[in-house]
Structure 1
Amino acid sequence: MRGLRTVLVAAFGAFALAGCAPQDGPQPPMPPAGGEPAQNQSYDDGLGRGMNAADRAACEAEGGTVQRRGRLGMEQCVHAYADAGKQCTDSAQCQGKCVGSAGAVSPDKAASGICQADDRLYGCYAEVRNGKAVAAICVD
């Protein structure tokens, strides 16, 4: 019985380690030499994360920039806020949200933050309202 248990444990360990081996599979295409795609062409990695040329042009025409954001690296139209980084104690003082570090201050204590940099807020943060850190969240 002890021998059977040893064999089963060894087999399970081998299967578990086999799951860690790198798998060959389709690789996303590399951008053309020079690093960036041509301006009239969007870089599509084959996974649907690239923005098409028409959407890219519309974004840039309205003052945005195309950036890859989030864990998936999706191309998104990003608009910077003029008051980015300004000290604040309430979101009403900012174009976007007044944000502080999530969990840095307890909700019952006074808090201040900074105005968010752009309209695509990712990461962990707490919104600051009426001088208190509220609504802590992690966005990806």
Structure 2
Amino acid sequence: MRGLARSLALTALGAFALGACTPQAGPQPPTAPTGEATEVPGNQSYARDMNAADKAACTTAGGMVQRRGRLGMEQCVHPFADAGKACTDTSQCEGKCVGSAGTTSAIEKVSGQCQPDDRLFGCYSEIRDGKAAYAICVD
């Protein structure tokens, strides 16, 4: 009987731990007019949109202004010339050699693709020496 109670307790603990990893919708920051800073919980402030001068500097440098990440903030994004090229190591790319988030084996040989630009968001594995070095999710 004691073994059954322990087994049920461990099962409940495991379910609780997995539930803690489930993405939850968090509080959304207030919106601000273009270029103005906005207060968010925790006394952090950020500029939601880039100002006109920063946008012009971005496009002059070959970038494009796009909304990225979970907060949808405007960012200057520079595409890489080798975007999408097959690779087996980050040294073969301008950015990182990345595989899908499911590419997690550090033993099996895998290949990936060169990242498309300098603002990599989402879940991916970096490929080094033909193996998945690590997996990460960036919001």
TM surpasses 0.5: yes
User: Which residue does the alignment assign to 1:50?
Assistant: 49
User: Which residue does the alignment assign to 2:92?
Assistant: 93
Closer/same/farther in 2, CA of residues 29 and 92 from structure 1, 3 Å limit: closer
User: Which residue does the alignment assign to 1:124?
Assistant: 123
**Cα RMSD over matched residues?**
2.1
What does 1:73-92 correspond to in 2, within 5 Å? 73-92=72-91
Greater strand proportion: 2
SS in 2 for 1:72: coil
Q: Please tell me whether Structure 1 or Structure 2 has the larger radius of gyration of its CA atoms.
A: 1
Q: 4+ runs of 1 displaced by more than 3 Å?
A: 27-30, 43-47
Structure 2: runs of 5 or more not aligned: 1-29, 39-46
Q: Which string of whole-angstrom CA distances, capped at 9 and with x for unpartnered residues, describes residues 31-79 of structure 1?
A: xxxxxxxxxxxx4587431001111111111110000000100100000
Contact 2:85 2:114 in 1 (8 A): yes
Q: Which string of whole-angstrom CA distances, capped at 9 and with x for unpartnered residues, describes residues 59-102 of structure 1?
A: 11111000000010010000000100000000111100000012
Please report the TM-score for the alignment, with normalisation by the length of structure 2.
0.67
Please report the TM-score for the alignment, with normalisation by the length of structure 1.
0.67
Identity among equivalent pairs (%): 64
